[in-house]
Structure 1
Amino acid sequence: MAPKRRRTVDNESKEAVQNRSSMVTRSRSAKYVKISDNNNSPVVVFAHGAGAPSSSEWMIRWKNLLADSLNAVEVVTFDYPYISQRKPPPKAEKLIEFHSDIVKMTAAKYPHHPLILAGKSMGSRVSCMVAAENGIRASAVVCLGYPLKGSKGAIRDEPLLQLTVPTMFVQGTKDGLCSLESLEVVMKKMKAVSKLHVVENGDHSMKIAKKNLELAGISQEEAEQSAVQAIAMFVSQTIGAM
């Protein structure tokens, strides 16, 4: 069976964006490129999406994937206040202060370790907003299913255009909240270095339908490992350049 196709796009290379086929690599079962266990081991603050708390199965699985692949000293997860209040999520801007406080406390706990901000969907959008805040010294941002399209169809690219921190996107080709074409247009306009890992046939949570997994000859776990491998490479290169 043919292996899953994995694409990585660098916004510093216009030619690569225009000719995606040159950026296609193949991987059946990715092996982690671990960051060495020293002061370069990062600490990760990982924010949940709008619909599920940090205790959800998806968040726990990805927390473990990030901890393992990045050799993180800690992956910090938390719940936004509206979760315990059993309220619908507010506008992302109203979550910045709470999120920023978590990040500052984590950075104070690990002052000599690179700080990575990661998030699922809405959490990735707020992570980008926090990374642009004064007093936050993040080394990189990792966006898992960035919700580029708003509820009324508007492209919500303002947080991305303000970023100066290296940013990694992991997006499914069947993500209704972020078309790859729209994201690549935004990436070309970003000031920050950015990369994109594409999960073929993945939805907003990078979930791949069984029939597509069978056609590609891979498992969901292999697709996720391929994604975290790309994240680990990106983080390792970013930290190495510091």
Structure 2
Amino acid sequence: MDNRLITIPYKEKSVEACVNIPDVTKNTGYGVILTHGAGGDMHFLQLTLLAEFLSSRGVMVVRFTCKGLNLAYRVKVYLHVVEYVIAHYKDTNRYFVAGRSMGARAAIGVANNVKGTTLDRTVAGVIALSYPLHTQGNKSALRDGPLYELNKPVCFIGGTEDEMCEQSLFENVLRNVDRYEVKWIQGANHALKVKGSNEEDVIADVGNFIFDWCNIKCSDNDDIANSENGKETKQIAKNSKRKSEGKNEISRKRTKTKHK
């Protein structure tokens, strides 16, 4: 496993990132691009542990730092990071965008922004850790709108005691969200910490769930692609047959005209 610190140019600034490259013998062919919440950075222990876990299973992981509370800015930076990673790491053919807390909101923003663009096929889905459905102490204003816009599969990881995402409220929201999976960590708060539990064990449990989910979604996408390719091949064959039949019909008409 190879870990590399890189700097990604962005306008007059730069973005600090770390790339966890798995062993060639384990490489799954897909990657995860991961970012932090409002107050952290890419060195946040939870993200480091998750990146190392997934990389040990053969997943390329890029985590990066983008500080600030402006969500629109963070989405723009995230999109730039996705474009940079795709351009520079061509051995990986699809990516899941992922984030924790505010980073989860940014990842969902990226998924909604790539619709109909050249990035649409490359972004395979979203991984949202501790999605902040509401602010602490105020459950009247929900951040649910972007969730309804998603057209990609999404995996939610949340704590049953998350003070920024009440479980019953979130489950009610999810009734109107397509193609989602959710894993609740019993007793975990917004930081996904559980009293009496080792953080490494919690993240290993989370990592296993994410790894299995990503594999299933990649398999689903392959099936869809094969189905679409099959339909396209059949359509080409039909068109070719129609053209051939049309030429034969023209030929028959010309032959009849000559005989007359």
Q: TM-score, normalised by structure 1?
A: 0.72
Shift of 1:186: 1.6
Q: Identify the residue that residue 116 of structure 1 maps to in structure 2.
A: 96
Superimposed CA distance per residue, residues 5-30 of structure 1 (whole angstroms, 9 cap, x where no aligned partner): xxxxxxxxxxxxxxxxxxxxxxxxxx
- Whether the 8 Å contact between 1:143 and 1:168 is mirrored in structure 2 is yes
Within the alignment, does 1:198 sit opposite 2:184 as a pair? yes
Q: Identify the residue that residue 166 of structure 1 maps to in structure 2.
A: 153
| Stretches of 4+ aligned residues off by more than 6 angstroms | none
Map residues 193-232 of structure 1 onto 2, 5 A cutoff.
Answer: 193-210=179-196, 213=197, 219-232=198-211
Which of 58, 61, 69 is the aligned partner of 2:49?
61
Shift of 1:90: 2.3
Aligned length: 189
TM-align CA RMSD: 1.8
Gaps in structure 1 of 5+ consecutive residues? 1-35, 84-88, 214-218
Q: Identify the residue that residue 234 of structure 1 maps to in structure 2.
A: 213
Shift of 1:104: 1.2
Supply the distance in 1 between the matched residues of 2:185 and 2:214 (Cα, whole angstroms): 18
Aligned amino acid, residue 93 of structure 1: A
Shift of 1:178: 0.6
- Whether the 8 Å contact between 1:150 and 1:156 is mirrored in structure 2 is no
Superimposed CA distance per residue, residues 36-55 of structure 1 (whole angstroms, 9 cap, x where no aligned partner): 845x5212110111111112
Within the alignment, does 1:180 sit opposite 2:159 as a pair? no
Aligned amino acid, residue 65 of structure 1: F
Shift of 1:92: 1.3
Structure label with greater radius of gyration:
2
Supply the distance in 2 between the matched residues of 1:60 and 1:223 (Cα, whole angstroms): 13
- The structure richer in helix per residue is 2
Gaps in structure 2 of 5+ consecutive residues? 1-24, 222-260
Higher relative contact order (Cα pairs below 8 Å, separated by 6+ residues): 1
Q: TM-score, normalised by structure 2?
A: 0.67
SS in 1 for 2:113: coil
